[in-house]
Structure 1
Amino acid sequence: MRLDPVRRRLATLLAVLVATSGLALVAPAAATAAPRPLAAPGDSGDDGEGGSKSLVEQLEAASKGFVEAKEALDRSKKRQQELVAKLKEIDTELGPKQGALDEIVRRSYRTGRLGPMTALLTADSTGSMLDRAQTLETVAVKQDRAIRDLKDARARQEQAKLAIDASIRDQQKQLTIMAKRKTQAEGALKAHNATTTAADDGGGSGSTGGGSSSRAAAAPRNSDGSLPNESCTVNDPTTTGCITPRTLHAMKEAKADGFTHFVACFRHQNSGEHPQGRACDFAADRGGFGGIASGSSRDYGNRLANYFINNASRLGVLYVIWFRRIWLPSSGWKAYTRGNGDPSSDHTNHVHLSMR
């Protein structure tokens, strides 16, 4: 059917308008496959973690301080146990050593304290004088050795007692630090959250959200049991950036234990652990970061979050965020609200793992 001139002009005008404005003829853009990037720089802006830069920094400092103090406390308690066992050994030594010295003294008094001149004057002959002098020397040597052994044992006993006292003082110091760090973390969250009991959209992860019995292999540690300082030195297999060896270890352990969904670690932002190579986001969905997790994806996130919590000490976990909650080593699960309202900043489509 042919269009009259008026209709042709109207059709042409409509085509021009559609072409210039893109009205409803362009296919909707695909949902982003990564957590929302920083919207605006500055202390108050969300840096992709669902919280402000200052909050993330406070949580990082508080959690790291708490864990380091707790590990120092554990090492101090272990050292105290070793010292107590050593003290018992020394106490056991002291009895026989004191007895040996007492016996030498008793013999000396029974036979008389012979000095060189007395031995010479009372000897019947040259031979008996030499015999008595030799006996005297033998007794003196034994007595001197017994006295030294006893003094050494008592000195070691006193050193062990002092070391135990120092360990106890150190433990009290670490407990004080832990309490302060716990208060710091919870205070920062309380100030950040709209309320301290945020809703969890029905059943959240919490401490009863399902877990995993898998035991991760421990990350390498220093000879004293502490974790070595690490920087962003290894290639991130999930991006073009870098991560720390400990972060890579945690990611590999989780994968080996069956958590094989999409992962993204390094990314550029102004705060948090991602740009330091000490954080990864583990998608609840298999192929990428989708909408709010539900069903099997929600269960996967619950199990993964608890996997990292159950292995926190072995892997060197700093904190875990999942479904508007954050797990802190000092306080367990706490509300973590005021994201941007999307699944990425609310952490309802991925488990965030921060490492020491």
Structure 2
Amino acid sequence: MAAPAAVPVSPVAAAPSSPGDEGGKSLREVFEAASKGHIEATNKLEKSKKRQSDLGLQLELIEARVQSLSAELGTVAAESYRLGRLTPMSMLLNSASPDAFLERAAGLDVLAQRDGRKLRELIETRDQADRAKAAIDNEVKEQKKQLAVIAKKKQDAERALATVGGSPSGGFINANSPLAKPAPRNSDGSWPNESCTIDDPTTGGCITPRTLHAYNQARAAGFKRHTSCHRSGGGGEHPKGQACDFSSGAEGFKNSHATGGDRTYGNNLASFYIKNANRLGVLYVIWYRQIWMPGTGWRSYSGGSSPAGAHTNHVHLSMI
């Protein structure tokens, strides 16, 4: 009896290493510029508010010193008036002896030095108060300037979003998302400029130190499914090593919309990056037909009908 013929088995297609491009070049450039401008202006605004607060405390101390010095000099003036406005010459002429004359002369010199110092200190302290008030006025102007920049960047983002949906959405927020370890900042609180200098653990390319930190923090929080960061072609943040795509499926980027546990995984990952956006330096996040930017929050996003274009099979992360 002949053996049954073998049934041919179709090979399982390997999951692609990357889901593809994220939207058009011009749109990505607007997203990047708007989000980066918002983040930079917000940092400047917060620094200005901190300087204003410090100057306010300094001014309170200076004004208290002005009041104290004014009171001391007022006492001296009142005492001089009560004694008939004694002059140095009259005090010396009333000396009964040469020793008394010298003693009075020394005393007058000490009084003159003391009163002169007090007067000079009062004048200088008042000048300090004026300078502090002027500095506070400058900080108020700076804050108005940065608020205008923030409003302008929000308008830019909303105009760009209008071409891909753009209506407010519920987004992905989870109060129970773990906190990430903050990425290094400059001493003034701003983000340091970084280039693609670190080996990308997900591809053969490179990424920035801040992108690597964000990637490692996600893995430390339990998000360890397939990821692809650097991409040599195209535009946006991928070629600069400032973006990663995180597969929602355990087996890689599937050409299908995530459902069930895969969608929950994507929801939780997107929520993790939003909760830690300021700690990590997140520029924007796209997941499941929605996009988050710091100036707008979650908005609807229509990048196409395919799972890659709609971002329903991966979470896209862009870093500042």
The CA deviation string for residues 110-129 of structure 1, in whole angstroms up to 9 with x for no partner, is: 444433x5454443321111
CA distance, structure 2, for counterparts of residue 183 and residue 292 of structure 1: 31
Tell me which residue corresponds to 1:99.
71
Tell me which residue corresponds to 1:72.
44
Q: Which amino acid aligns with 1:175?
A: L
Alpha-carbon distance change, 140 to 209 in structure 1, aligned in 2, over 3 angstroms:
closer
Question: Does 1:241 find its partner at 2:205?
Answer: yes
Question: Does 1:188 find its partner at 2:153?
Answer: no
Q: What TM-score, normalized to structure 2?
A: 0.91
CA distance, structure 2, for counterparts of residue 73 and residue 252 of structure 1: 30
Question: Does 1:307 find its partner at 2:272?
Answer: yes
Tell me which residue corresponds to 2:313.
349
CA distance, structure 1, for counterparts of residue 227 and residue 86 of structure 2: 86
- Aligned sequence identity (%): 47
Alpha-carbon distance change, 26 to 287 in structure 1, aligned in 2, over 3 angstroms:
closer
CA distance, structure 2, for counterparts of residue 349 and residue 222 of structure 1: 36
Gaps of 5+ in 2: 1-7
Aligned residues of 1:211 and 1:302 also touching (Cα < 8 A): no
Partner secondary structure for residue 308 of structure 2: coil
Q: Which among 251, 254, 269 is matched to residue 233 of structure 2?
A: 269
Q: Give, in angstroms, the shift of residue 289 of structure 1.
A: 1.1
Alpha-carbon distance change, 137 to 110 in structure 1, aligned in 2, over 3 angstroms:
farther
Tell me which residue corresponds to 1:252.
216
Aligned residues of 2:19 and 2:253 also touching (Cα < 8 A): no
Partner secondary structure for residue 334 of structure 1: strand
Alpha-carbon distance change, 188 to 325 in structure 1, aligned in 2, over 3 angstroms:
same
CA distance, structure 1, for counterparts of residue 234 and residue 122 of structure 2: 64
Partner secondary structure for residue 130 of structure 1: helix
Tell me which residue corresponds to 2:288.
323
The CA deviation string for residues 13-72 of structure 1, in whole angstroms up to 9 with x for no partner, is: xxxxxxxxxxxx8946715423344xxxxxxxxxx00x1100000110011001111111
CA distance, structure 2, for counterparts of residue 287 and residue 315 of structure 1: 27
Alpha-carbon distance change, 284 to 241 in structure 1, aligned in 2, over 3 angstroms:
same
Aligned residues of 2:19 and 2:245 also touching (Cα < 8 A): no
Partner secondary structure for residue 52 of structure 2: helix
Alpha-carbon distance change, 315 to 154 in structure 1, aligned in 2, over 3 angstroms:
same
The range that moved more, 106-115 or 144-153, is: 106-115
Q: Give, in angstroms, the shift of residue 267 of structure 1.
A: 0.7
CA distance, structure 2, for counterparts of residue 61 and residue 128 of structure 1: 81
CA distance, structure 1, for counterparts of residue 167 and residue 184 of structure 2: 37
Aligned residues of 2:158 and 2:166 also touching (Cα < 8 A): no
CA distance, structure 2, for counterparts of residue 98 and residue 310 of structure 1: 53
Tell me which residue corresponds to 2:55.
83
Write out aligned runs for 1:132-211 (5 A): 132-190=104-162, 192-193=163-164, 195-197=165-167, 206-207=170-171, 210=174
- Pick the structure with greater CA Rg: 1
Question: Does 1:297 find its partner at 2:262?
Answer: yes
Q: Which amino acid aligns with 1:96?
A: S
Partner secondary structure for residue 66 of structure 2: helix
The CA deviation string for residues 215-252 of structure 1, in whole angstroms up to 9 with x for no partner, is: 11111111111111111111111111111111111111
CA distance, structure 1, for counterparts of residue 173 and residue 144 of structure 2: 34
Tell me which residue corresponds to 1:226.
190
Aligned residues of 1:236 and 1:266 also touching (Cα < 8 A): yes
Partner secondary structure for residue 254 of structure 1: helix
CA distance, structure 2, for counterparts of residue 259 and residue 93 of structure 1: 58
CA distance, structure 2, for counterparts of residue 197 and residue 96 of structure 1: 59
CA distance, structure 1, for counterparts of residue 97 and residue 268 of structure 2: 95
Gaps of 5+ in 1: 1-24, 38-47, 199-204
Aligned residues of 1:34 and 1:344 also touching (Cα < 8 A): no
Compute the RMSD of aligned alpha carbons: 2.0
CA distance, structure 2, for counterparts of residue 67 and residue 189 of structure 1: 18
CA distance, structure 2, for counterparts of residue 207 and residue 92 of structure 1: 51
Tell me which residue corresponds to 1:19.
none
